[in-house]
Structure 1
Amino acid sequence: MGIRAGELKHRLTIEANTPVRDEYGGMVPGWAPVAKVWAKLWAKSGQERQTARANQAEVSHGVLMRSFAGLTTAHRLTMGTRSFAITFINDTIPGQFTLDVTEKLGREAS
């Protein structure tokens, strides 16, 4: 049984860690878009901790999406200004991925 299209309500961008050109023409670490996909995103849990005198919240999410060739934990997902690090990819069901992702909130989020 496949994913029903109505479940995929979030538009996410898959990004790869790629050197990008800065305003001076040099290359700096950055993220480049690979593809836009429809997915289902839901919050699973959260925690808050203090690091270097700054509070940082971390929220764990689940993502359901159609399979995407070459997707690894080296990629990240973005939605608007939010970014999600991929921590686990479950590809046991043909044609779909269930991902565990982490969103960092606060001053040290990147």
Structure 2
Amino acid sequence: MNTVFIDAGRFSSELALERNRPVSDDIGGYAENWEEVATLWGRIEPVSDTARFFGAQPLEEITHRITLRFRRDIESGMRLRKAERRFTILTIHDPDESGRYLLCRVREEGQ
């Protein structure tokens, strides 16, 4: 497999990696409790924006590609946060299987 060139010098966004630790609400449900796992540097690139309709309500979705240095502890369902922006991790892959970088497809929350 060919090596993919990724310029780590373009990792200009400081991101907090967060994991959800659900907390019981004592009536059979749970509340989300996001805790910070690590601080990372990465590159955020917009990929697409779409608007679907749910009944008469438009549902907007913005996806991005975030490039990070390789880590084994990142999973789908975790999220990345940049200041007040939150990105839910949908998919993760190593572009050239070299263990150097990860490409994360994410959906921006709260848009």
TM-score when normalising by structure 1: 0.77
User: Across the two proteins, how many residue pairs are aligned to each other?
Assistant: 102
**For structure 1, which segment, 39-48 or 97-106, has the greater mean C-alpha deviation from structure 2 after superposition?**
97-106
Letter in 1 for 2:106: V
| CA distance in structure 1 between the partners assigned to 2:108 and 2:40 by the alignment | 18
1:93 aligns with 2:94: no
- How many Å apart are 1:58 and its aligned residue? 1.0
- The runs of 5 or more residues in structure 2 that have no matched partner are 24-29
Unaligned residue ranges in structure 1 (runs of 5+): 21-26
Closer, same or farther: CA 15–35 of 1 in aligned 2, 3 Å? same
CA positional deviation for 1:77: 0.6
Inter-partner Cα distance in structure 2 for 1:50 and 1:81: 26
Match of 1:102 among 95, 101, 107: 107
Q: Is the 8 A contact 1:63 1:98 kept in 2?
A: yes
Higher strand residue share? 1
What is the SS of the residue equivalent to 2:49?
strand
TM-score by length of 2: 0.76
Q: Between 81-90 and 53-62, report the one with greater CA deviation.
A: 53-62
What is the identity, as a one-letter code, of the residue corresponding to 2:71? F
Whichever residue aligns with residue 69 of structure 1, its letter is R
Deviation at 1:54, TM superposition (A): 4.4
Match of 2:10 in 1: 7
Deviation string for 1:84-107 (max 9, x for gaps)? 11111112232110111111334x
Counterpart for residue 38 of structure 1 = 41
Determine if contact 1:57/1:105 at 8 Å carries over to the other structure: no
Summarize deviations over 1:33-92 as a string: whole Å, max 9, x none.
000100000100011234475443211100111012211003111111111111111122
Question: 1:65–1:98: 8 Å Cα contact kept in structure 2?
Answer: yes
8 Å contact kept, 1:57–1:104:
no
Identity %: 26
